[in-house]
Structures are given as structure tokens and as C-alpha cells.
Structure 1
Amino acid sequence: MEQKRELTSVDLAALVEELGAFEGAKVDKAYLYGDDMVRLKMRDFDRGRMELVFEVGETKRAHTVAPERIPDAPGRPPQFAMMLRNRLSGADFVDVEQYEFDRILEFIFERDDGTTRIIVELFGQGNVAVTDGEYEVIDSLETVRLKSRTVVPGSRYEFPDTRTNPLTVSREAFDHEMNDSDTDVVRTLATQLNFGGLYAEEVCTRAGIEKAMDIEEADEGVYDRLYEAIERLALDIRNGNFEPRLYLEREEDGNNGDDDSDDGDDGDASEQVVDVTPFPLEEHEAEGLVADGYDSFLAALDDYFFRLELEEESAPDPTEQKPDFDEEVAKYERIIEQQQGAISGFEQEADDLREQAESLYAEYGLVDDILSTIQDAREQDRPWEDIEARFEEGAEQGIEAAEAVIDVDGSEGIVTVEVDGEYIDLVAHDGVEQNADRLYTEAKRVEEKKEGALAAIEDTREDLEDAKQRREQWDADDGDDEDEGDDEHADTDWLSMQSVPIRENEPWYDRFRWFHTSDDYLVIGGRNADQNEELVKKYLEPGDQVLHTQAHGGPVTVLKATDPSEASSSDIELPDSSIEEAAQFAVSYASVWKDGRYAGDVYAVDSDQVTKTPESGEYLEKGGFAIRGDRTYYDDTPVGVAVGIQCEPYTRVIGGPPSAIEGQAETMIELEPGRYAQADAAKRLYRQFREEFTDESFVRKIASPDRIQHFMPPGGSRVIDE
């Protein structure tokens, strides 16, 4: 029997009766898992902590969940979750209703500043819409634009067309619906009366009516018995006369070889959950299903969906058992590599800080002159802008101290100077000795971090050796798996794996826009003016290329010749293919895409042609920069973005030019400018990725719509060939 994954209208009618007992509970916090599960953490004054869950994806459910079964909270709350928190924190749960006999629940919450309605659609594609007290949509997981109804932020929420409610139907209306049918009795109850297949059969069984009876053969006596069975069912729901059942199907895996035995020993048998109902069903008893009773329907629902998920996760997959050891070993090796890199970084950082401090003493007179000039000016209440202008004038006149000043940040009281080729940030109100002492102290603090990392790496090495020993023991105990181990080096079919191992990595550039070219060069771009400013001032090094669109509003795009942790070099010749991909990246994440255009002009310059120092009469806004010298133009560069899921060496979402992403992602989806808003397009991609991977939980963990949106261009998009 197929396992139940969606609640029926009868289930929801019973559910509403039991949820009413929680009226008055207060909302603490809201969460969104993936793009289809909402969790409300609440406090009921009689029962304590209460967890309410709505899921509207492939599984469609709404019920309370035991706190110990709640999954860990997602990392960064997306916009929808933040909106719920802002509207519901501290609100009272005042009511829950089922819309007609449809699979729609309406949860109502009140706070001093207004009413919030959460409308959960447990049919079709599923949806959760949040409205105010007047049904104006604040936000929804899905936007709906159909001829029959619209669910769009800013508009009034529209319910689907009303259907017959069999639990409240009058006898006259019942007769009319039955007489209007041209099929058999059970199909008429399922469709005309909206019972659905299971409860249509149950009504027939309780009424003692043959399901396949042609409607034309049904007389007044048949209608009487059917209507009485429906009335009894409706009365049980209204009065809360529930006897919840969780139904299990027994699967025989073998027997004990004694066919004549009647001692109850069925040999090796396994049971799987197949249904959960608010009262016993004669239909299920006739099918021989095993039934477990529960005190409440909510408890039965919680247990059913928990066991359903547990069965899916524990489904045997021999091909995935052994690689778990390899993944554990690989994880510790990655951690050690990262720790070694951190240690090297700490050593270099401490050395650099000490060298900076020594440089201050080596150029004591020059640095003292700069600091004294600033301090004297501030004592005279001269604004920072005047101080900066004075240094610029002095630099034009060839004054050595003024030429050494790179930047003056009045908001922080910091002056950046160049001493012996090093940029050093100085606290303007301190003297040379105080600034040098600060650098020495910082170097000491960094070295202490290095000592902590050294201790941590020893612990990790012990964990690594332990994992290797357990793997060797496993191999020794099960030599038959040797051939399977040899296949580990073959291509892995990630899409078909039942459980894809998570290999997390958060690189330093993850907060920017980024991708690796098909030649494995890093390209990073700013998301806003602050990041554009940071890229030019902090990460632009000799040998790098800077690309920018002719159109206004494009990101600063830097094609890195080397990693910031490596020695920079102007001798590296960047491949044309990488430059072209960086150009496509620059134009795709600019206003060109947002304006719905398919191509734009891009120019490229060397890093030494970029400056933050304007010419006399020039003005550079925040995030802007000046170019000196010739530019190389890439006219009519086509836009193009693909978003993909990478499975090795790390599991993560990646995005950028299709030619680059294609070789790095296990699967990818190409985009072009289109009509779907960024958030809506991200949800479409998320659903498509979930369909491609057997392990849907893997997609939910590493490729949420919020994370996918991180790699999408600003403005509307559509999937190519969709």
C-alpha cells in the first residue's frame, strides 16, 4: 500500500478540533526550512513548549511536533522567516479554521499592533500565505497568478472556488449531487461530494453499499443509508469523538520454515507506516493492516510523519555504508589542511605586524610628522576633510610626509600611511610609540591564536588515526567489500546516491559574488558600493585584472592572478578564456540583466591602472574608482548565468558563467533575463534541483532558495528553454 504523504480534508477537519485546545499560546519564534516547511515555536501555559509545523512540499502536513523531534534550526533565516518573526513574536494564537471542506487551514494570531493570518494550502503545489487582518497578502512562499485566483504580496488573498462540504451538506443538496452524477456510487462520493477515494470507500463500507453500484441503480433507500453514514462521521468530528489509529503494513522477509506453525511466529517481518486517521477505518481493517491506537490525533500525526521520515533515512543502501569511513577520514584531512593553513597565516600575520611596528621606529621622524600634523589640526577643530585636503596639497608639492599618507578616515580616526612599501593603519590621536606597541600587542595575540591552533591540530590528528584504524578493521572484517573499495576512485553518481555526504567550506570570498573560471582562476565581484570599495582597497594586487561594464551600476569585478595568501606577481599571463568569462560575469550581474538586455559592453584594465585618488576637480563616489591609461573593450558581451550544485571537493551552490560552472557542478541550470522575480526564480531552481537528486535532504541542507538566490543576478530571470 502506498504511504500517505498528504493530509485529507477529513484529517484537517479533525485536526482543527484538537488544535483549538491550544488557543492562547504565545509565539516565540518562526523558522523556514528549505522552501516548504514552516515551524512556529510557541508556549502554551498549560502544556509548556509547543512546536507547530506546516510542510507544503512533496509531503503536505500540519500538526504539532514533540520538541525532541524538531530538526536543528537553519543557519541564516531567510526573508520570509524574518518577516514571520517580526509579525508574530509575542503574538497570541487565537483560532484555527478549515476553509469549507478544502485542504486549507487558516491560523489566526493577534498582537496589540494587529492581526496576522497564516493560510496553509495543503493541495496542488502547496503554499503558505501570510496576510494581515483584512486578508492583504504580506508575503507567500509561492506567488499564484491564475485566471481563477491570485496570491501575490500586496493584493487581497483569494481562496479557491467553494466546493460542496459533505459534512454540512443538506439532504436536498446531497440528493442533487448524487443525481447529477453519471458514474458509480463510490466515484460520486469521491468527486461530487469531495470525500476523496479513501473516505468515499469508507462511507460505502459503513453504509453497507456496494462501491461499484451504478448511480442509476441507487434508490432512495441507498441514499438514506449513505447520508446516515455521512451524518455519523460528521457528528464524530464535530464532537471530537476520535479514536486515532496509525496503520502499518507488514512485509514478510522470510519465514521460519514451519508452514504448520500457528504459534504467532511470522518469521522475519518488517512493518512500515502507511496511514494515520482520526478514527478506525473499516476499509483498513479489511485490508489486514496492523493498527496502533493513540490518545490524540495530533500525537498520532507526529508519530506517523516521524516514523515515515525515519524509515526513509534508514532504508538500506549497501553502496553507501563503507564510504562513510572514507568521508570521515577525508573530513579530518580537510580540517588538518585548513588548520595548517591557519597556522601559516597566523605566523605570517604576526611577522607582518612586527615588521610594521619596526618600520614605524625606522621612519620615526616621518611618522611623527604625520601624526603631529593631524593632532595639531584637530586641536584647532579643523574638520577631517580639510586635513585630508591639506595632505593632498602637500603631496602635489612633493612633501615627503604628505606623499606617505594614503587615506584619512575621519569616522574611525584612522590614517593609512605607506612606509617601506607597507600600508599601515595608525590611530591618529596616538603617538608613534603607542601605535608601535599596539602592533606588537596584536602580533602577540595572533601568536597565541597560533598556539591554540597547534593544540587543535594534534587533537584532529588523533581523530584521523582513529578513523583510519576503524576503516582498516572494517575492511578486515568484511573482505568481500574489497572490490567495492576499488571503485571509490571511479566517477561517483552523486544524483543517484541515497545519502550525499556533506563537505562544508566557507571560503574568505563567500560574502562577495564569486566563481572560479574554467582555468581555475578566482573572480570576485562586489555586491554593493561598500564591497566595491573593499575589493579595490584590500584585495586588488599586482597581476590582477579589473573589469567593469560601461553601464552604470555594475560590480567591480576582479580576476585574481593569485590568492591573497600567495605572493602576488605581475608576471602571470591570464588566459583569454578566463578574461572572457570574467567579462560575462561583470555584465551579467550589472544593470544590463536587470534592464532585461542580453548583452553589454565591458572593459578590462590592469590592477596598477586603478586608483582611488581622484585628479584635481574629479569626484569619486563611494565604491567608485579612477582608471589611468588605456582600456581593453569587450563589446556586446552576452549575459549568461548558470547556478549549479557542486559535490566535490566541497558540497555547495556555485554560480557564474555557464562555461565555467559546467565543469565544476554535478548539475546546473542556465538562466536568462526574464519575468520571474529573483526570489521566485530561486524557488523554481530549488524544486528542480530536488527533483534531480535522489537525496532531497542533501539539496535542502546545502542549496536552500536563499542560498541559490545568493548566486543569481539582480532583477527578473527565467530558466532557458523553460
Structure 2
Amino acid sequence: MKKVVTAFDLLASVVEMSGLAGNKLENVYRTGAGFLFKFAGGYISATKYRISLTSVIPEKTHEGAETLRGLFRDDRLAEVVMPRFDRIAELVFGSGKIIVELLEPFNMVAVRDGKVVWLLHSYRGKDRVISPGAMYAYPPAVFVDVLKADVDELQKAIDPGDLRRSLIRRLGTGPELADELIVRAGTSPRAIAEEFKALVEKVRLGKIEPTVCVKDGVPITVMPIKPLSLKCDEYKQFNAFWEALDFYFAPMELESAAIQTTQELAQRRKRLEASIRELENKIPEYREEAAKLKTLAHKLLMYKLEIEEALKGMETSIRVVNVDATRIKIELPEGEQVELRKGVSIGKQISQLFDEAKELEEKAQKAAQVLEKLKKDLSKLDEEQRRAEEKLKSSVKIATKKSWFEKFHWTVTTGRKPVIGGRDASQNEVVVKKYLKEHYLFFHADIPGASAVVAPPSEDPLELLQIAQFAAAYSKAWKIGIHAVDVYYVKGVQVTKQPPSGQYLARGSFMIYGKREYVRNVRLELAVGCRKDGEAYRVVAAPPKSAHLLAEKYVVVTPGNKEKGKLGKELAQEWGGCAVEDVVAALPGPSRVSEEGRGSPLPWDEVERIFATW
């Protein structure tokens, strides 16, 4: 069963990740199995199993990713490269690069100007040293590089007498691809070299057949091509290789995260089980020893007079076997030999035997009580571990491909009109330049520092109020605690980036010509909610009147004193499914919840159709 991607797999993954080139790195998270990179256009997962695009968003934290985030956040991904045909990939940014080594041991290294500025693990070996501040050096190249070599060079590396071994050791194919090449090309080194080169070129061009091979109901490998060398019960095929990698490796990553998350519980369990085993062995020993002492005490009590007479030298059924300074050994009529203490009366010794037996019985009883408690503790621990694992599994989210409007603030009115607004000055520019048609309406809170909101034309006063509410909410008025603000709107033809002669317009600023229409004293309130579409969860925001069209569960918020990070976390936990960071991003600023609600949201494909009319 494959436990890590091969160089061939990694090549296909690198080609797919290259599609994110030009995207900003928005965040970096630590997960139980590795790291998660959030780009404007998607996610990349880097674990000891793979590095690839992903839609699986496991439980994540900022802890442990602070330095990487500080180094590369808001930097644009320039390219994703594979420096040679090996299990090494690089995320290249304008300011440096992150090198992922899927070798043993798994490592990640951040490099700027050739120097290591962050790393997951320091490494010191015969071949190289990886440490903070040192110049980064790749692992020694031990294979002929198919990415640079021609067919003749590849052919020379293939031993006709030991095809499989030479493919693995000289060309770095690994056993899986070596077998595949031999099945596809036969035993001719030339044909194998040509097939190898052809497969690599196909993968480079994205001409792949992502496949997971399933045997006896268990996935045993994943490849960017449909394998001919493997006999599979099922060939599960995917549209993209990263989808196949998600299907194959996500369960392993989840298991790895579960082991790490429940490590402390596992140690406690180990200690409990050791204590239980010890008591389970001790209790029978205590009881057995107590029974022996009681039996002996009863026998000595039965023969007490005869023993006393025998010790005085009289003739009885008791035979004195041996006498030394401290002990007297006697033989009972049954033939059993017993040692008695010299100088201590028989009655006292019998009483002490009963006392010792009683102590052992009490020990056994107490041990049994402790054992019962430990078993209950173990049962509770099992339940705690099960809940922890379930929580980890339930925390896994599926990141869906976002529709074009989701990168902006967006909503839908009760009249089902689409509305978008910029999240920052840069997006305000995009919204106006790309989406504000001449006859569309431009809304803006009458205060510096607000979202540029755009919507199709409308004369319905209720719709105009809803759009104005949306524009007012995403303005500086919310952050400074104002509860009402005027909002103006004009036609798109009245908005321009051309300033009057001799003046300059800052980024995200516009000139408005002609008459402005106003919606006065717009109350600052916004509905923020959560919806589920198949396996995907989405956070939505809307004017309170239209919230039921977009969210299953929502709250109406107004400016308040609870930080949006804290409120966002509380709401995400209460709703379940929606990501904390998405809830926080939807909240305009410090807020308080004024009411809660439930809705019957429009199907997502209907929402997309509404925005398709743009």
C-alpha cells in the first residue's frame, strides 16, 4: 500500500498546483498531519504523504505556522517547480521559496537569497547540513534526471539484464512505475526509455487519467495514469489528480492527526491498562495466599493441644522434625511440614495467621474496588478518545470551488437581485472597473472608507433600502460604532476614475458626477449565517429581510463591543460546519447579536443563476 507520493505522482501534482501561480497566499495553518496553505484561488496541503491541491480542510490552527505566515503571507505565488525528478517540490514566491522534501525524514524549508530562514526539522548528515542561517543544499542527486535527460541517456542507464532494478536505482522510478514501464514497453531498454519520456511529457502537459486502484475494498495505490501492471478489483477514476490524492491520502492524514491529537489520551490509557493488569494479577494472589493462611491456621488450631504436648517431649501424632535457634519444624498427621517460631505460643501464632489472612482478604477487596474504578476510568477514557476522534473527523471540511462573486462581499435581495461589494480598496477598483455597467447602480456609505457596492438597476424602494443596508454595514461607520448612516447611489455612467485636472485619486477612490440619490439614516444591521450545499458549508451575509433566502441558520448583528474574532468563533461552534475564519470575514466589525433566525435557502445553483445574469 502506497504511503507517500512517488516522483512521478509529484510531477502531476506540481503541474496542477502551478494553476495557482499569480494567487496571493492568504494564510498558512498547521494541521495534525502537516501544513495547509490558503491561496485566493484554492488550498495546498503539505504533509509527509503528499503536497497537492486539496479540498479537504482538516482541523487547523495558527500555532506552529506563525513564522511561515509572517514570511510569505500576502506574497504572490510565482510558480511551483520540481527541481529534478525526485520527491522535492518548491512553492516559489517573489520574496523566497518554500521547499517541501517528501523524503525520509519529511521536511519543509523556507529559503531567502539561498539561506534557510525557517525549517521544520534541522538535519545533519554526511551529505549536507540544514540549519537556520545556513545556505540551503539539495539532497545529493542519485538518479539520472528524466526531466533533463534525453532518451539516449535514459537508455544507457537501463541494464538489459536487470531492468526493474536499474529503473528503480538509476532512474528513480520506484517499483510501481518500473513495473508499469516494463508492462507497457516490454523488455527493450530503448522502448522503456521512450515510454518513460513519453509518460513524463504527457503528465507535464496535463494529459492524465487520475486513478485509485482498489483491491478487496481497500485503496492500495494512486497514480496519474490508469495502471496496466496492477490487477485491481476497481479502477476508481477522477477528473483531477488532486481529487484522487485527497481520496487516497486524506484518511491516512486524518489517522495521523488522530494519533497526534489523542497521544496524551493514549498514554493515559497505557498507564491505566498497566495498573489494571497488575491488579488483575494481584487480586487472585492475595486471595490464594489468604486461603492458604486460613487453612493452616485452622489445622494448627485443630492440633493445638497435640502440638503443645509434642513440644514438651510427649508422644503425640505430631512429629518434631527440626529445632534451631529461632524455628521449630513439625510434621502434622497428614504429612504436611510447618515451621513455627520458637518462644511464641501456638495460640498467638494461630491468631497472627488469621490476622494476616484477614489483611490479605481486605487487600484483595480494596484492590477489587480500585480495579472496578480503573475499568470505569478506562471506559470513560475510551469514550473521551472516541469523542476526540469524532470531533477531529467532523472538523474536516470540504473546500468547494468558489463562484466568481464569492471573492467579493455578495448578497441577494428579496427581489432576487445580485449585489457585490469590494472587500478592500483593491477590490473596489475591480468591482467598479469590471462589474459596474453604465445603467447599473453604485452604492456607497456617505463616509470615507466603505465598500463600493454594485447592483443591477431597481426602482423598488425596499430593494434600494436593502442594498443601502449592505453598503452601510461594510463601511467604517460600523467599526467606529455609528448605528445609522446615509448612503448615496448613482448610475454607473456617473462614476469615473478620472479626477479633475491637477488632482489625484487614491486607489479605491472614484469621482461621482451629477446628482446623487440618498437613502437617509440607514440602520446598520446585517444578517450573517451558514448554509450547507452537499458536503460544502458556506458563510453568507445579507440584509436582514433577505437572509432567509441564503442561510439555514443566521443571526442579525449590529455594531457592538464583542470583537468579531470572538463572536465569529462562537457562531461557528454553534452552527457547526462553517469555518471560523469565514464567519469572521463576514462580520463587519465588533458586533452584538440582536436576533436569531432560520431560513429555507435557495439552492446554490439558483444563486449562481442569479449572478449569471450579471
TM normalised by structure 2 equals 0.42
TM normalised by structure 1 equals 0.36
Higher-Rg member (1/2) = 2
